[in-house]
A and B are shown apart, each in its own frame.
Chain A
Amino acid sequence: MTPTHHPKEEKLLEYFSGSLDEGMRLVVAAHLEMCPSCRRLLAGLEIAGGTYLDGLPAAPLGEHALERVLSRLDESEVSQPAPRAQAANDLPVQIRALAPHQLGRWRWIGPGVYWRSVTLSQQGPMRVFLLKAAPGTQLPQHTHDGTELTVILQGAFRHEGGRFGAGDCDDADDTVEHRPAVEEGEECICLVAMEGNIRLRGFLGRLIQPLVRL
Chain B
Amino acid sequence: MPDESAIATHDHASLIVAVAKNRDRIAFAELFNHFAPRIKAFLLRGGTPAELAEELAQEAMLIVWRKAYLFDPAGASASGWVFRIAQNLRIDAARRAQRADRIATEFAVEPAEVDAPEAVVDAVQLEEKVRSAMAQLSPEQLKVITLSFFESRPHAEIAAILKLPLGTVKSRIRLAFLRLRALLDEVA
A62–B38 alpha-carbon span in the complex (Å): 13
Are B41 and A59 in touch, CB under 8 angstroms? Answer: yes
A57–B42 alpha-carbon span in the complex (Å): 9
Are A59 and B120 in touch, CB under 8 angstroms? Answer: no
- In the bound complex, residues from chain A placing their C-beta under 8 Å from that of B79 are 49-51, 53-54
Across the interface, A49 reaches (CB within 8 A) one of B70, B87, B185, namely: B87
Known: A59-B41, A66-B29. A44 touches B126 (CB 8 A): yes
Are B81 and A66 in touch, CB under 8 angstroms? Answer: no
Binds B, one of A9-17, A154-162, A192-200: A9-17
Known: A73-B62, A78-B66. A53 touches B32 (CB 8 A): no
B53 on interface, CB distance cutoff 8 Å? yes
A68 on interface, CB distance cutoff 8 Å? yes
Across the interface, B149 reaches (CB within 8 A) one of A13, A60, A79, namely: A13
Across the interface, A17 reaches (CB within 8 A) one of B25, B37, B80, B87, namely: B87
Name A's interface SS: helix
B180 on interface, CB distance cutoff 8 Å? yes
Q: Which of A61-95 contact B (CB under 8 A)?
A: 61-62, 65-66, 68-70, 72-73, 76-79, 81
Are B62 and A49 in touch, CB under 8 angstroms? Answer: no
1/0 per residue, CB under 8 A from B, across A31-57: the answer is 011001101111111111111111111
Are B65 and A40 in touch, CB under 8 angstroms? Answer: no
Closest residue to B51 on the A side, CB-wise?
A62
Number of interface residues of B (CB under 8 A): 76
Are B67 and A66 in touch, CB under 8 angstroms? Answer: no
Interface residues on A, range: 35 or more
6 A-B pairs with least C-beta separation = A50-B79, A50-B80, A18-B112, A58-B37, A49-B83, A46-B80
A56–B41 alpha-carbon span in the complex (Å): 7
Question: Could you tell me which B residues sit within 8 Å of A by CB distance?
Answer: 5, 8, 25, 28-29, 32-33, 35-42, 44-45, 53-54, 57-58, 61-62, 65-67, 69-70, 75-84, 86-88, 91-92, 95, 111-114, 116-121, 123, 126-127, 129-131, 133-134, 145-146, 148-150, 152, 173-174, 177, 180-181, 184-185, 188
A16–B87 alpha-carbon span in the complex (Å): 9
A103–B128 alpha-carbon span in the complex (Å): 42
Are B120 and A43 in touch, CB under 8 angstroms? Answer: yes
A13–B118 alpha-carbon span in the complex (Å): 15
Min C-beta distance of B126 to chain A, whole Å: 6
Are B127 and A59 in touch, CB under 8 angstroms? Answer: no
A46–B72 alpha-carbon span in the complex (Å): 13
- In the bound complex, residues from chain B placing their C-beta under 8 Å from that of A39 are 117-118, 120
A123 on interface, CB distance cutoff 8 Å? no
Known: A37-B185, A49-B83, A73-B28. A18 touches B92 (CB 8 A): yes
A73–B66 alpha-carbon span in the complex (Å): 8
Closest residue to A58 on the B side, CB-wise?
B37
Given contacts A48-B150, A65-B58, A72-B62, 8 further A-B contacts (CB under 8 A): A18-B91, A44-B130, A46-B117, A51-B130, A53-B79, A59-B38, A59-B44, A76-B66
Q: Which of B28, B83, B180 has the most CB of A within 10 A?
A: B83
Min C-beta distance of A31 to chain B, whole Å: 12
Known: A13-B149, A18-B91. A76 touches B62 (CB 8 A): yes
A115–B25 alpha-carbon span in the complex (Å): 52
Across the interface, A65 reaches (CB within 8 A) one of B36, B65, B82, B123, namely: B36
Known: A36-B120, A47-B130. A53 touches B82 (CB 8 A): yes
Are B127 and A47 in touch, CB under 8 angstroms? Answer: yes
- In the bound complex, residues from chain B placing their C-beta under 8 Å from that of A51 are 79-80, 130-131, 134
Are A47 and B126 in touch, CB under 8 angstroms? Answer: yes
Min C-beta distance of A36 to chain B, whole Å: 6
